[in-house]
């Protein structure tokens, strides 16, 4: 079980966690108290190179990439089971490091376990096709692993999002280098250890720590790296896209969002209010797919907002490890300052806080942590900064509309296009909205929702490519065409 203090942890290379002395270290803090919880070494370009070296060797020597995939099915299945069995240890560690309530961390760990189970089931079903061609020829395709794949993860769902791309990459037979976010590496390190205990050959999953600008870029630009899976902010995503393009390697970019949650007057309004509240206050709003823009039909707006306000006021804030806590702190002091900046800006630009707002009081005892009161802004207009930029905190921006066409225009008036929510009992409206929304994912009458077997990805500045689902395996494999001419030998010319 994770203690309040984890002590020194190290990078995970060649099947071992290496705690080293005499190197620069980063002290990780509990977001609920800002007290130290662990130290980790600050990685360098050399560490990035060593991690890629380890993966490249393991890819060649471990037999992991064998076409039948039987070993991958068995080992990934064991890891899935072990993670599900040890959920509490991992959930506690996630909460300690990231701050979210324990029940959310439990959900994240079980989701990661289910993702592993899903891809374990697919690992021996990766196959090509035969293609009819003229004459005495057999033409077929092979799907082969890429080799060394790099995975760069953010801090909001440290374990779940790391596993989301690592699991299909391993299932496809690749060797992986994972770089977690600098502030939240603990569950990724423990996961690598667990995977090794479950029989994953050394070198197939390396976890390298350090800054994005040094270690992240060293990974992306290493000529032995065959693909990059990035989840994080749009600015960094664009940089990684450029670096990957200059090497002509495939990349997936899972970036930010400004999700519209669209509530029609005929919806089950109680269910919608709970969904809207969940969609913005879960993980203290630190979600790419947060429903941060509430679009509500004019005739029910007042009633609906007063119910969402009631729910926000009832939320119990506190340290994620305390029983009954419904919203934890933000991840760091720095990030809280960014979110507070948006809240102040909202008021300056004319939005009206119904709940929260600049300097909103917190319960006594929370001052030392990075807590921030939930905020609901009314009177938001589409041009305001808070309506356009991703805030990544517990801040809901409410606007109203009259017709479905108007709702669609407002919803699509965004640089982002990740998840959009629609709340209505009218099937025709639901399907017309689903067709018209410029978003990689649309959810009707619940928000947010995804499963390991369904694609996750965004349009516009929300990203490039998809994670999850069986099609993700196409990204982690390459296709080869083989043509065989089996025409009988011609008699020799006389
Ligand atoms: P971030 O972009 O700051 O960092 C993400 C990762 O990239 C970290 O590991 C970081 O160290 C690394 N990094 C930073 N600069 C780098 C560089 N130059 N080269 C290589 N790697 C670099 O993002 P964050 O603050 O950790 O996460 C929040 C962002 O992630 C939000 O915008 C959120 O919407 C997005 N996000 C998207 C999804 C999705 O699935 N679409 C999921 C979660 C979070």
Q: Which CATH class is domain 4-255+462-480?
A: alpha beta
What spacing in Å lies between the alpha carbon of 180 and ligand 1's midpoint? 9
Residue 1 has a pLDDT of 37
* Of 254, 340, 390, 467, catalytic: 254
Q: How far apart are CA 87 and CA 109, in angstroms?
A: 6
What spacing in Å lies between the alpha carbon of 377 and ligand 1's midpoint? 26
Q: Pocket around ligand 1: residues whose beta carbon is below 6 Å from it? A: 152-156, 161, 179, 181-182, 212-213, 216-217, 220, 231-233, 236, 239-240, 254-257, 288, 390, 392, 418, 458, 463
Write the secondary structure of the chain as one string of H (helix), E (strand) and C (coil): CCCCCCEECCEEECCEEECCCCCCEEEEECCCCCCEEEEEECCCHHHHHHHHHHHHHHHHHCCCCCCCCHHHHHHHHHHHHHHHHCHHHHHHHHHHHHCCCHHHHHHHHHHHHHHHHHHHHHCCCCCCCEECCCCCEEEEEEEEECCEEEEECCCCCHHHHHHHHHHHHHHCCCEEEEECCCCCCHHHHHHHHHHHHCCCCCCCEEECCCCHHHHHHHHHCCCCEEEEEEECCHHHHHHHHHHHHHHCCCEEEECCCCCEEEECCCCCHHHHHHHHHHHHHHHHHCCCCCCCEEEEEHHHHHHHHHHHHHHHHHCCECCCCCCCCCECCCCCHHHHHHHHHHHHHHHHCCCEEEECCCCCCCCCCCCCCCCCCCEEEECCCCCCHHHHCCCCCCEEEEEEECCHHHHHHHHHCCCEECEEEEECCCHHHHHHHHHHCCCCEEEECCCCCCCCCCCECCEECCEECCECCCCHHHHCEEEEEEEEECCCCCCCCC
For the CA of 463, the closest atom of ligand 1 is 41
Pocket test for ligand 1, best of 31, 153, 154 (most atoms within 8 A of CB): 154
What spacing in Å lies between the alpha carbon of 461 and ligand 1's midpoint? 13
Residue 8 has a pLDDT of 86
Nearest CA, atom 8, ligand 1: 181
What spacing in Å lies between the alpha carbon of 237 and ligand 1's midpoint? 7
Same fold across 4-255+462-480 and 260-444: no
What spacing in Å lies between the alpha carbon of 320 and ligand 1's midpoint? 23
What spacing in Å lies between the alpha carbon of 347 and ligand 1's midpoint? 28
Nearest CA, atom 16, ligand 1: 212
Nearest CA, atom 18, ligand 1: 213
Q: Which CATH class is domain 260-444?
A: alpha beta
8 A C-beta contact, residue 143 and residue 99: no
Whether 397 is a known active-site residue: answer no
What does residue 492 show for φ and ψ, rounded to 5 degrees?
-60, 145
Q: Are strands 148-152 and 137-145 parallel, antiparallel or unpaired?
A: unpaired
- Residue 418 corresponds to which tokens in the numbers above? 């990740």
For the CA of 418, the closest atom of ligand 1 is 41
Tell me whether residue 132 is exposed, middle or buried, using C-beta atoms within 10 angstroms of its C-beta: 0 to 12, 13 to 18, 19 or more: exposed
Whether 298 is a known active-site residue: answer no
Nearest CA, atom 41, ligand 1: 254
| Intra-chain end-to-end CA distance of the chain, in Å | 83
The interaxial angle of helices 158-171 and 70-85, nearest 10 deg, is 160
For the CA of 210, the closest atom of ligand 1 is 11
User: Closest Cα to residue 294, out of 432, 146, 447?
Assistant: 447
Nearest CA, atom 35, ligand 1: 232
For the CA of 220, the closest atom of ligand 1 is 20
What spacing in Å lies between the alpha carbon of 182 and ligand 1's midpoint? 10
Residue 142 has a pLDDT of 98
For the CA of 182, the closest atom of ligand 1 is 11
Q: Taking the domains of the chain in order of start, what are their residue ranges?
A: 4-255+462-480, 260-444
pLDDT in tens, the chain (494 residues): 344 567 789 999 999 999 877 789 999 999 999 999 999 999 999 999 999 999 999 999 999 999 999 999 999 999 999 999 999 999 999 999 999 999 999 999 999 999 999 999 999 999 999 999 999 999 999 999 999 999 999 999 999 999 999 999 999 999 999 999 999 999 999 999 999 999 999 999 999 999 999 999 999 999 999 999 999 999 999 999 999 999 999 999 999 999 999 999 999 999 999 999 999 999 999 999 999 999 999 999 999 999 999 999 999 999 999 999 999 999 999 999 999 999 999 999 999 999 999 999 999 999 999 999 999 999 999 999 999 999 999 999 999 999 999 999 999 999 999 999 999 999 999 999 999 999 999 999 999 999 999 999 999 999 999 999 999 999 999 999 999 999 999 888 87
**Bond into 52 cis (ω within 30):** no
* Of 217, 288, 390, 467, catalytic: 288
Residue 3 has a pLDDT of 47
What spacing in Å lies between the alpha carbon of 107 and ligand 1's midpoint? 21
For the CA of 181, the closest atom of ligand 1 is 9
Nearest CA, atom 11, ligand 1: 212
Q: How far is CA 437 from the centre of its chain?
A: 22
Residue 240 has a pLDDT of 98
What spacing in Å lies between the alpha carbon of 18 and ligand 1's midpoint? 25
What spacing in Å lies between the alpha carbon of 232 and ligand 1's midpoint? 2
Pocket test for ligand 1, best of 233, 234, 415 (most atoms within 8 A of CB): 233
pTM of this prediction? 0.97
Q: What is the CA radius of gyration of the chain?
A: 24
Pocket test for ligand 1, best of 52, 157, 212 (most atoms within 8 A of CB): 212
What does residue 307 show for φ and ψ, rounded to 5 degrees?
-70, -40
For the CA of 467, the closest atom of ligand 1 is 40
Angle at 257 between CA 251 and CA 286, to 5 degrees: 105
Rounded to whole angstroms, what are the CA distances from 153 to 194, 208, 228? 19, 11, 11
Pocket test for ligand 1, best of 236, 257, 289 (most atoms within 8 A of CB): 236
For the CA of 236, the closest atom of ligand 1 is 2
């Amino acid at each position: 079980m994770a203690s309040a203090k984890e002590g020194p942890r190290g990078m995970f290379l060649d099947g071992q966690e290496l705690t080293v002395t005499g190197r620069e270290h980063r002290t990780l803090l509990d977001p609920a108290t800002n007290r130290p919880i662990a130290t980790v070494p600050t990685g360098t370009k050399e560490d990035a190179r060593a991690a890629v070296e380890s993966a490249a060797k393991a890819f060649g020597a471990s037999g992991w990439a064998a076409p039948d995939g039987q070993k991958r099915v068995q080992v990934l299945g064991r890891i899935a089971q072990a993670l599900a069995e040890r959920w509490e240890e991992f959930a506690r560690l996630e909460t300690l490091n990231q701050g979210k309530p324990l029940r959310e961390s439990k959900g994240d760990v079980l989701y990661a376990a289910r993702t592993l189970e899903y891809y374990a089931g697919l690992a021996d079903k990766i196959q090509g096709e035969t293609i009819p061609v003229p004459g005495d020829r057999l033409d077929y395709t092979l799907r082969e692993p890429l080799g060394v794949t790099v995975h760069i993860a953010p801090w909001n769902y440290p374990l779940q999002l790391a596993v989301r791309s690592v699991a299909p990459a391993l299932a496809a037979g690749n060797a992986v280098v994972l770089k977690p976010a600098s502030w939240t590496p603990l569950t990724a390190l423990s996961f690598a250890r667990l995977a090794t205990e479950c029989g994953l050959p050394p070198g197939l999953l390396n976890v390298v720590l350090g800054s994005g600008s040094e270690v992240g870029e060293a990974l992306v630009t290493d000529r032995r790296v065959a693909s990059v899976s990035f989840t994080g902010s749009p600015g960094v995503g664009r940089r990684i896209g450029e670096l990957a393009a200059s090497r002509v390697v495939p990349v997936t970019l899972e970036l930010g969002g400004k999700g519209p949650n669209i509530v029609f007057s005929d919806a089950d309004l109680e269910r919608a209010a709970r969904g809207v509240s969940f969609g913005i206050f879960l993980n203290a709003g630190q979600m790419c797919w947060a429903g941060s823009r509430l679009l509500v039909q004019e005739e029910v707006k007042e009633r609906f907002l007063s119910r969402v306000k009631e729910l926000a006021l009832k939320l119990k804030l506190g340290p994620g490890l305390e029983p009954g806590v419904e919203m934890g702190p933000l991840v760091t002091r720095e990030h809280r300052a960014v979110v507070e900046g948006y809240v102040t800006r909202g008021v300056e630009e004319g939005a009206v806080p119904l709940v929260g707002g600049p300097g909103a009081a917190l319960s006594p005892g929370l001052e030392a942590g990075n807590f921030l009161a939930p905020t609901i802004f009314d009177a938001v207009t589409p041009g305001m900064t808070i309506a356009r930029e991703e805030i990544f905190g517990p801040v809901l921006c409410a606007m109203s509309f009259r017709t479905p066409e108007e709702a669609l225009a407002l919803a699509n008036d965004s640089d982002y296009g990740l998840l959009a929510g629609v709340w209505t009992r009218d099937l025709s409206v639901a399907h017309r909205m689903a067709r018209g929304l410029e978003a990689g994912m649309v959810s009707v009458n619940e928000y947010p929702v995804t499963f390991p077997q369904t694609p996750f990805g965004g349009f516009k500045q929300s990203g490039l490519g998809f994670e999850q689902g069986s099609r993700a395996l196409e990204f982690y494999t390459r296709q080869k065409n083989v043509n065989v001419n089996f025409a009988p030998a011609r008699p020799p010319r006389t």
